[in-house]
Amino acid sequence: MPFALYALTAGAFGIGVTEFVIMGLLLEVSADLGVTIAAAGLLISGYALGVVVGAPLLTALTARWPRKGVLIGLMVIFILGNAAAAIAPSYGLLMAARVLTAFAHGTFFGVGSVVATGLVAPERRASAIAIMFTGLTVANILGVPFGTWLGQHYGWRATFWAVTAIGIAALAVLALLVPKDKSAPEAFDWRSDLRAMLRRPVLLGLLTTVLGYAGVFAVFTYIAPALTGITGLPASAVSPVLLVFGGGLILGNLLGGKLADRHLNRTVLGSMLALAVVLGLMGFALHNSIAAVVFVGLLGAAGFATVAPLQMWVLQKAEGAGQSLASSLNIAAFNLGNALGAWIGGIVIEHGPGLGAVAPISALLPLAAVAVAAYAMRTERTPAGAVATAQR
């Protein structure tokens, strides 16, 4: 794989830390700012919605810019947003800082995915996307547990200062290692690209992403309260357990990319079914400390095994349209799923059966994603067969 891919991985690492680290600090943030755990969980939803809004907006505004310049500019937004979060005196301002940071997220991964696939042969595109997204998985193995430990010992603000420093380092790596654009920026006709994005196959692909990832985040958003309140682990054990989750992310991410290069449709369906099984059984596993740790790792593996296949699937459906826009919209779909999942989890906790029911209820979401994806694949085959028959 080209060395430039690992520069994209460095940027993904920085963004991954700021997206996920808040999940290990919900208790500290809620206590310091005087809000409920569910309200603190909305900081994750706010970030995700910031990605949903920012991804198409910034992608459209920067469509004529050189892609390397776009990536560097987005990392500057990331740095400023995390610095603002570190000094935020209230819950409202912290939410605003999180949303500002999120604006960089979707376009970075959207543009980065296009750059990554352009660096390799067609048969290795899903693996190239997986390598870039490895930055997110390494962020969970190294950045999130360290950020959680740092926040528990020195306050959650110290974590955001550390993430700001990571962003500065990532900015330097991107500036040094990402190659300059070899061709002029793609022409951007927002009307034609919007029409392409509104095609049924693209919309079904985006809906599949939303539903699948909502299941992951309905559980992962509240993983710290679940481990301490249901499993009975001490708060100090949350960081080591998150290391297990991160290990699962790496394995699932790379495996999903390799399988998608061979059989894309089968991998989309199979990874979603695996995720539904893990979520369905996790409600039982949380009542045993060893089983809980194992299933946290399985949740990471099953959740991230879906990422590269779904990203590649939507890019394939948008062939001929603005690839950066399609890619960014799918990143927005992942984060819309994050927001939906955090919201559903909060409802189950506060108005439903409670924290212990979040995992089995969330299993319904990837099952719905399987149904949508299967329908999309069947409708794709039917017109193709009709055309082939007419041509013969």
pLDDT in tens, 326-352: 777 777 788 788 778 888 888 888 887
Predicted local confidence at residue 322, as pLDDT: 60
Predicted local confidence at residue 392, as pLDDT: 33
Q: What is the pLDDT of residues 16-61, one digit of tens each?
A: 888 878 877 888 888 888 888 778 878 877 887 888 788 778 877 8
The encoded tokens of residue 196 equal: 């392409």
pTM, two decimal places:
0.71
Cβ within 8 Å of residue 2, ≥6 positions away? 119, 120
Domain boundaries, the chain: 4-391
**Under the phi-then-psi rule, with left for phi > 0, alpha for psi from -120 to 50, and beta for the rest, what region is 186?**
beta
Predicted local confidence at residue 382, as pLDDT: 59
Cβ within 8 Å of residue 122, ≥6 positions away? none
**Under the phi-then-psi rule, with left for phi > 0, alpha for psi from -120 to 50, and beta for the rest, what region is 178?**
beta
Report whether 256 contacts 308 (CB < 8 A).
yes
Report whether 48 contacts 102 (CB < 8 A).
yes
Report whether 216 contacts 300 (CB < 8 A).
no
CA distance 24 to 330: 26
CA distance 100 to 93: 10
Predicted local confidence at residue 368, as pLDDT: 92
CATH superfamily of 4-391: MFS general substrate transporter like domains (1.20.1250.20)
pLDDT below 70 — which residues of the chain?
A: 1, 140, 181-198, 318-324, 381-392
